[in-house]
Amino acid sequence: MSGVPRSGGVERGQSENQALPALEARGYGAGAPAEGRGSGLPLATLLADRDLGLRPLTPPTAPDAPGVLGVHASEMPDPTPYLLGGELLLTAGAGADTDATEDPEAGYDAYVTRLVAAGTAALGFGLAPVHEEVPPGLTEACARHGLPLVEVPPHTPFTAVARAVWRLMARARTRELRRVTEAQQALAAAAARPTPVPAVLARLAASLGGYVTLRPDGRTAGSPPPTTAAPHALPALEALLARVGRPDGPATATDQSDGWHLAAHGLGGGRAALGTATPTRTPGDHTVASVAAVLLTLLTADRTAGPETAALTRLLLDGDPSAALGPGPWYAVHARGGADPAGLAAALDTVLMDPDGAPAVRLLTDRDPLPQPGWRLGVSTPAAPDALAAADAEAARALERAEAARAPLARHADTGFAGLIGAEEGRIRAEALLAPLSPERRTTLRAWLAHHGSWDRTAAALGVHRNTVRQRVTRCAALLARDLDDPDTRTDLWLALRFTDPAQPPS
């Protein structure tokens, strides 16, 4: 380090070259690459790690100051050619004094000036074996130029500091990814509310912790920048909205004003725009706002159930919506008979509707549906987002049951494979299959199948001799021209008998 005197850290009789292996033993020079450049790791987060024992020697940085983006260790008088900016620079003051002057204070000042110009996030100074304390002149220079200075105790290897930075940055990225995912789910759920546009705006403002506005209709949510502290923020946001709100304007635009972070997203080819103003900005904020912009583009279409909303509903019911919807439960609904699908969607508290889903209107709602005047509804069982395709099939079968029973609403009931066949169609096919058998033979065959082909148990259940059972079952096989030892034949006959027995209906 330029102008750093060799004070106290080298044992008596030990040269500086002999001291360097001791530095290597501390892990000096082993860095951990920091992925991404985002907003960086706040220095306060690193200082809070008690295992490292780092001690700040200059006043704390502002909460919105750039964070640490990486770690670099160097003893060069001028390490700036090897810095990208945003690093925590670690040094023990063991470098050659190539820039030494008669005035050490000037050397410290020149060294810190170069680091600040290179965008260094902070300087970490390690104690022992070169220095027993951080030189006061270096502390004064860092304070004078606003460079955070941290003392690294002798027991803390530089590799431990580098690994801690990597670990904390990875933890922050995971936390931010979880926040973005939860915000996306909350926005999708808000889009299914009866008044979806205000709900999405309110959810976006809460997720970003700021202010959002929709143009040209003027709806807003959240707290706007205070005009006393940030008089230019709102005019700057309006200027951004005017840029993206033109057909030939950019899709997005960003700016900063009075300490507020501003962004604007164009909606629907320039017909509308979404603006956001936040006191801070994280790497995931743009993703969250982009999801809201897509939803608002769909929700502000001219028609309530236009092709965009229908396409979204088809995607949710036919695709994999687990990344877009909340945990539910969700209900798939098939409907026929009414003339106002949009009114039905409003009554079921949803905008997720496919009015062209032949042969029925298809909807998706997180509210348990009730009968609606003029409609016949088939409702699935409650389903998680990753099971909506199965729920859609359940709703289709439930609607068939509702129409067969002339009921306004039918809910899916788990009746096994028998439930996959309509009740009326099942009875017709069963009667055709069992037509050769008399009621007595059907009763015997059903009991024999129920007892897995046991002659003795069937005879006991029917109160007849086992030979009588054998004769009747043999006669059934001959009349049906079927092999009763074939498991497929037994399955067909069992389902047919269930469809034709009033005491044991299939559904």
Asked if pLDDT for residue 420 goes beyond 90, the answer is no
Residue bearing the bigger pLDDT, 430 or 97: 430
Span 459-469, pLDDT tens digits: 998 899 999 99
Span 441-498, pLDDT tens digits: 989 998 998 888 899 999 998 899 999 999 999 999 999 898 888 888 888 888 888 7
Closest CA to 317 of 385, 411, 255: 385
Model pTM score: 0.46
Least confidently predicted of 94-103, 128-137, 450-459: 94-103
Closest CA to 69 of 172, 207, 201, 199: 172
Asked if pLDDT for residue 81 goes beyond 50, the answer is yes
Asked if pLDDT for residue 29 goes beyond 70, the answer is no
Domains of the chain, earliest start first: 16-169 (3.40.1390.20), 191-299 (3.30.450.30), 307-414 (no CATH), 423-500 (1.10.10.2840)
CB 153 within 8 A of CB 47: no
As a whole number of angstroms, the distance between CA 256 and CA 277 comes to 9
Output the pLDDT for position 314. 55
Cα of 346 vs its chain's centroid, Å = 27
Percent of the chain exceeding pLDDT 70 equals 79
Sign, CA torsion 153/156/157/161: negative
pLDDT grade for 102, boundaries at 50, 70 and 90: low
Number of helices and strands in the chain (H, E): 16, 15
Asked if pLDDT for residue 260 goes beyond 70, the answer is yes
Asked if pLDDT for residue 28 goes beyond 80, the answer is no
* Range among 197-206, 241-250, 295-304, 425-434 with highest mean pLDDT value: 197-206
Output the pLDDT for position 358. 67
Output the pLDDT for position 326. 60
Residue bearing the bigger pLDDT, 82 or 64: 82
As a whole number of angstroms, the distance between CA 362 and CA 360 comes to 6
Span 42-79, pLDDT tens digits: 899 899 999 999 999 998 766 667 789 999 999 898 99
As a whole number of angstroms, the distance between CA 348 and CA 369 comes to 6
Mean pLDDT of 128-154: 91
Output the pLDDT for position 316. 56
Q: How many residues does the chain have?
A: 507
Average pLDDT, the chain: 80
Mean pLDDT of 227-236: 91
Span 197-217, pLDDT tens digits: 899 999 999 999 999 999 888
Percent of the chain exceeding pLDDT 90 equals 32
CA distances from 400 to 128, 314, 369, 395, 424 (A): 82, 20, 17, 9, 10
pLDDT grade for 269, boundaries at 50, 70 and 90: low
Span 346-390, pLDDT tens digits: 888 787 888 776 678 998 888 889 999 889 999 999 888 778 888
pLDDT grade for 2, boundaries at 50, 70 and 90: very low
As a whole number of angstroms, the distance between CA 374 and CA 331 comes to 20
Q: What are phi and psi of 266, to 5 degrees?
A: -75, 140
Mean pLDDT of 406-433: 70
Output the pLDDT for position 402. 84
Span 276-303, pLDDT tens digits: 999 988 878 888 998 888 888 878 765 4
Closest CA to 397 of 417, 371, 383: 417
Output the pLDDT for position 112. 93
> Cβ neighbours of residue 95 under 8 Å, at least 6 residues apart?
1, 4, 74, 75, 76, 77
Mean pLDDT of 396-415: 81
Asked if pLDDT for residue 243 goes beyond 90, the answer is no
CB 252 within 8 A of CB 266: yes
Output the pLDDT for position 63. 63
What 3-state class would DSSP assign to 156? coil
